[in-house]
Structure formats: structure tokens, C-alpha cells
Amino acid sequence: MPANKKLLILPGDGIGPEVMREVRRIIEWMEQRRHARFEISEGLVGGAALDAEGVPCPDSTVAAARAADAVLFGSVGGPKWDSLPFERRPELGILRLRKELGLFANLRPAVVLDPLVDASSLKPEVVRGLDIMIVRESTGGIYFGEPRGITTDAAGRRTGIDTEVYTEEEIARVARIAFDLARKRRNKVTSTEKANVMQSGRLWRAVVSEVHKAEFPDVQLEHMYADNAAMQLCSRPKQFDVILASNLFGDLLSDLAAALTGSLGMLPSATLGAVQPDGRRHALYEPIHGSAPDIAGKGIANPSAQILSFAMLLRWSFGMEEDARMIETAVEKVVAGGLRTADIMQPGMARVGTAVMGEAVVRELEKLA
């Protein structure tokens, strides 16, 4: 029997807790039928943590995340906390975890499943079979660069400041992740920046080229300005395999790529740290969709992205490739079978809620086992 795997679950806000419940259902099934053993703890983050402890990411949550082998994250934020001061926003929950655990590589797949090809806003022939992986740098750049803040001069005029900073080490390590991934896929990396206007963009392009030449000459590398990449994603998305981007550009491009698939409720993500000398690696997994406060508590949210995030967790953190594939296949089969939550509803399909979707995934797993 495999050793215990320490899993920290952070449901967060909005639909987070209800979609996480469906992951629990999968975990229970795995424990019974696959003899997997997880040592699970739960923690507070985002608005839930603000309500309970007055901060969006308590030290106890950071400590628990550090001690865990993997973190499964729900979503944070909602109108209830919108008027809080900047330093106490629920979003700081995820930002602090990324920074303190050194989770620098955010992997965001944008995949169009065949049965959902009509859910895209683009023509079916443009997106059928789409399978992109965005690798977004997630502990540096303008999200964390100093100086930052709002200053006021003697005359009372305010200036808002954010700073885009990248060291060559930061660029090189995330580039390696992208090249490595490309080798397991279609062997192509498109690196995005604004080398035409930004100094950090010039360095980005140079370092990515150096890493490519020295370590990954077999991978096809293409450089593209980030604005052009946004346009190309909308016009010819299938030219991309792996897209490498800074924190800010990756934030934008990944939302855009997700929207192309027409099914935000289906997309997982992983955020990985460096492999430590003892072989361990911090990692956090979360759905791309946010907390969706407008539908929270109604039992209609799509649990697929959260379930698929758990599959990514099994693959990346626990090396359980077979189980990960099984869960992914089960979700695909449920959707192909015609069950749809509201976000992916199509004419002629059966509209179901969160729990029915989760139960259906377990039934498919049962058939696959």
C-alpha cells in the first residue's frame, strides 16, 4: 500500500467549498477502490480566513501548506470583501502562498474537448482539438516588483507605481519548465514578451534564447510579442503548443486562452516550485475559474475544473499517472454522455447540478476501474 500523502485542502470562497465537496467524493472512491491513502487537512484562505481570523492568508495556512506534499486550492474573493483595504484583499491569499512557497511556474492548460467544441465563441474548425499549455511565471514581475505603491507629492498629486522586474535566474528557471513540458508534448515553445518596449522583455528574450541554445536545442522556439500572441490566440490558436509568459502577460493570455475553450468550468491549473535537494517540490493546484459569487451556494457550479485540478495533483505531486488519466477520462466521458452543468449547457443535453456531475464522474471511474 502506498505511503500516506499529505494533502492540504483550501476550499476558500464562493463556489470553492461546493466544488471541493465533489473532489472529496472522488478521494473517498479512490481510498476504497484504488487503495490510495491520503492524509488530509483543511485550512482557511481568502474571505473565509478574513471572516474567521481577520487576514486573507493566516500564518497557520502557510505553515500547513509548507508541511503538505500538495495543496488543493478552491477559489477566493467575493463582493462581501470587495471594499476591504488593499492589504487585506482575499486575493492576497493566493499571492502569499505562491510567493512564500516559491511556486514560480503556473501551468494552465487550455483544452477543447470534442463534445464541447460548440461551446467556444470561435468557429468549431478553429478550435477543434485545441490543446495549449500556458506556462506563466508566478512569483515575480510586476506582481511583486519594488517600488510599488501610491505616492502623494507636496501639491497633493498622486502617482501609482508598479515595477516589472525579472532576474535572469527567474526567467531561466521558468523557461526550463516550459521547454521540458514541450518535449512531452508537440515540442514547441512560444515565448512572449514586449522586447520592443520593455527592458525586462529584452532580457526575457535573451535569457530564453540562451537556455534554449544551451539545454534544449531540440525544441522549436519562437519569440512573439505578447500583444501579437493575444491576437494570434484568437485567430489561429492551434499554432501554439506551450506558451511561456511573464506573470502579468500570462495572467492575461491564460484568461484569453481559457475563454477560447468556452468552458472555464473545465480548466484546471498547477503551480509548481523548484525541486528541493530532498526531491520534494511544493505545488498548488486550483481551477482557473474564480469564486463565481453569482452562482455560489446554488449547487449549480461545474465541479470538473476542481476535479481535474486534483488529477493534475495526482500526476505532478504523487506520480499517480494512471489515476490521473482515469479521472480525466471519467470527466470526459460524463460530458460526452450528455450531462451538462449550466456553464456548458447545450441544446439536447441534460442539465444537472454540482453533485450529480460529481456522482457521474464516480460512476464512470467505477466502470474504468
Cβ proximity to ligand IPM, 251 vs 328, nearer residue: 251
Residues whose CB is less than 8 angstroms from the CB of residue 36 and which lie 6 or more positions away in sequence, other chains included: 2, 5, 27, 30, 320, 323
Cβ proximity to Mg ion, 30 vs 269, nearer residue: 269
Contacts with ligand IPM in 230-269 (CB under 6 A)?
Answer: 251
36 touches, from Mg ion, ligand IPM, none (C-beta below 5 to 8 Å by class): none
- Through-space distance between the first and last CA atoms of the chain, rounded to whole angstroms: 17
Least separation in angstroms between residue 251's CB and Mg ion is 4
Query: Using the rule CB under 6 A, is 91 a contact of ligand IPM?
Result: yes
Q: Please, what sign has the CA dihedral across residues 9, 14, 17, 19?
A: negative
Residue type, 100: E
Please say if 162 is a catalytic residue. no
Query: Using the rule CB under 5 A, is 286 a contact of Mg ion?
Result: no
Residue from 118, 162, 180, 255 carrying the catalytic annotation: 255
Contact 155, 164 (CB under 8 A): no
91 touches, from Mg ion, ligand IPM, none (C-beta below 5 to 8 Å by class): ligand IPM
C-alpha cell at 343: 456553464
Contact 192, 224 (CB under 8 A): yes
Cβ proximity to ligand IPM, 127 vs 284, nearer residue: 284
DSSP per residue, 152-178: E-TTS-EEEE------HHHHHHHHHHH
Cβ proximity to Mg ion, 143 vs 166, nearer residue: 143
Provide the CB-side half-sphere exposure for 293 (13 A, CA): 9
Least separation in angstroms between residue 217's CB and ligand IPM is 32
Contacts with ligand IPM in 321-360 (CB under 6 A)?
Answer: none
Strands (E), the chain: 5-12, 38-42, 70-75, 105-111, 131-137, 149-152, 158-161, 188-193, 220-225, 242-245, 268-272, 283-287, 339-340, 350-351
Please say if 218 is a catalytic residue. no
CA-CA distance, 71 to 38, in Å (whole number)? 12
CA-CA distance, 26 to 37, in Å (whole number)? 12
The region of 88-96, 162-170, 319-327, 335-343 touching ligand IPM under the rule CB under 6 A is: 88-96
Cβ proximity to ligand IPM, 251 vs 323, nearer residue: 251
Residue from 69, 251, 323, 343 carrying the catalytic annotation: 251
Query: Using the rule CB under 5 A, is 323 a contact of Mg ion?
Result: no
Cβ proximity to ligand IPM, 64 vs 134, nearer residue: 134
What is residue 61's three-state secondary structure? helix
3-state helix, strand, coil in the chain (%, to 5): 45, 20, 35
Q: Which of 298, 328, 288 is nearest to 17 (CA)?
A: 298
Position among 13, 170, 241, 251 found at the interface with Mg ion (CB under 5 A)? 251
C-alpha cell at 166: 525579472
Query: Using the rule CB under 6 A, is 94 a contact of ligand IPM?
Result: yes
Residue from 6, 131, 227, 238 carrying the catalytic annotation: 227
C-alpha cell at 364: 464512470
Cβ proximity to ligand IPM, 122 vs 257, nearer residue: 257
Residues whose CB is less than 8 angstroms from the CB of residue 184 and which lie 6 or more positions away in sequence, other chains included: none
Please say if 251 is a catalytic residue. yes
Position among 40, 95, 252, 274 found at the interface with ligand IPM (CB under 6 A)? 95
Please say if 241 is a catalytic residue. no
Residue from 5, 99, 194, 333 carrying the catalytic annotation: 194
Please say if 143 is a catalytic residue. yes
Query: Using the rule CB under 5 A, is 137 a contact of Mg ion?
Result: no
Residue with cell 511556474: 105
Least separation in angstroms between residue 252's CB and Mg ion is 8
* Chain residues in the site for ligand IPM (CB under 6 A): 91, 94-95, 251
Query: Using CB under 5 A as the criterion, which residues of the chain lie in contact with Mg ion when the complex forms?
Result: 251
Which positions are catalytic?
A: 143, 194, 227, 251, 255
